[in-house]
Amino acid sequence: MPEGPETHYIADRLNELLAGQPLTEVRFSLPELKKFEKSLKGHSITDVEARGKALLTGFDNGLTLYTHSQLLGYWDFQHKTPPESPEGLPRVYLATRSAAAALHIAPKVEMWKTQNLAAHPFLAKLGPDILDPEVTADDFTARVHSAPFSRRKLAVLLLQQEFAAGMGNYLRSEVLYEARLAPLRTGISLGAKEAQALADALLAVARRSYRSKFKGALPASSKDYLAQTAKTFRFKVFEREGYACPSCDGKIVMERLASRRLYWCPHCQR
Ligand SMILES: [Zn+2]
């Protein structure tokens, strides 16, 4: 699943491809969205914004499309004519004269009035976004010591979008390693310096990953963005079980925590 940095790449890509140009074709596979196909034609996308792992596609008629890809959804950025049959139709198809993008499989696709978005149940629950330039480390030092987060294990907490929006599985391993914290510690057990290290790592690792994005040819689909991240961002511990820790003579180990693979160095992380 794309994490915060990859969701931001997708938003950047959709903005480059589609924003500011009149839409020549709009298709939705969900019956409740069909009525928007005609009314959006001729209007333009004003901005595509990543919020955590959700994407908000704003239109110049006061509507915003909310999409969340979850595990399997992906964007195809190639200009293809959408199939006519309802079964083959992507969840979302948006085209201008020069470009097109299609969202496949995503389980969450909803149209909202832009002015009502603050009431969206998923968006309203999101914690500070690790890639929002306005968010600072102080937002997280206080948060990790506060209810309801302080008693949760860090391995669990760092996947929870209500704690830190945009976090995901590779970021969890890399953030804990950067902060030198063991995954089964809880927020309440952290001293002031440890809480600061965690807060700094949450922002630094995510922002470094985002900045490391592809320099070469752009992928044809968002499925390739995670593979790109693995190549360009260079994980220190994630998927490096059995390799030497970059900081000590110990070996990286893998454990399943909160049902996901977590990689860490038991020597460096305390
Ligand atoms: Zn180590």
Please write the tens of the pLDDT for every residue from 25-63. 999 999 999 999 999 999 999 999 999 999 999 999 999
2-22 residue pLDDT tens: 899 999 999 999 999 999 999
At 86, which amino acid appears? P
86 is annotated as an active-site residue: no
How far is it, in rounded angstroms, from Cα 228 to Cα 216?
10
53 is catalytic: yes
Q: Which residues pair with 251 in a beta bridge?
A: 244
Mean pLDDT of 68-86: 84
Q: Annotate 40-108 with DSSP letters as a single string.
A: HTT-BEEEEEEETTEEEEEETTSEEEEEE-TTT-EEE-S--PPPSSTTT--SEEEE-SS-EEEEES-SE
Please count the CA atoms within 13 angstroms of the CA of 39 that sit on its side-chain side.
10
- Ligand 1 centroid to residue 252 C-alpha, Å: 7
The sheet that has 63-68: what strands, in order across it? 45-51, 54-59, 63-68, 108-113
Question: Which of the residues 108, 223, 260, 261 is marked catalytic?
Answer: 260
pTM: 0.93
Of the candidates 42, 34, 17, 24, which has an alpha carbon nearest to the alpha carbon of residue 89? 34
d(CA 155, ligand 1 centre) in Å: 18
Q: Is pLDDT above 90 for 72?
A: no
Q: CA torsion angle for 51, 54, 57, 61 (degrees, to 10)?
A: -80
Measure the CA angle with vertex 134, ends 128 and 137; round to 5°: 65
Q: What is the mean pLDDT of residues 76-104?
A: 88
Dihedral, CA atoms, 234, 264, 200, 49, nearest 10 degrees? 60
User: Where does residue 251 rank: exposed (0-12), middle (13-18), buried (19+ CB within 10 A)?
Assistant: middle
For the chain, the average pLDDT equals: 93
Measured in Å, residue 144 CA sits from the centre of ligand 1 at 24
pLDDT tens digits, residue range 139-174? 999 999 999 999 999 999 999 999 999 999 999 999
Active-site residue 34, yes or no?
no
Among residues 53, 91, 213, 236, the one annotated as catalytic is 53
Note the pLDDT of residue 214: 66
- Quick one: pLDDT at residue 149? 97
Instruction: Please tell me the distance between residue 181's alpha carbon and the centre of ligand 1 in angstroms.
Output: 11
All residues at 6 or more sequence positions from 55 whose CB lies less than 8 Å from its CB, including other chains? 7, 10, 11, 14, 48, 49, 66, 67, 68, 69
Query: How far apart are alpha carbons 109 and 93 in whole angstroms?
Result: 12
Q: Identify whether 3 is a catalytic site residue.
A: yes
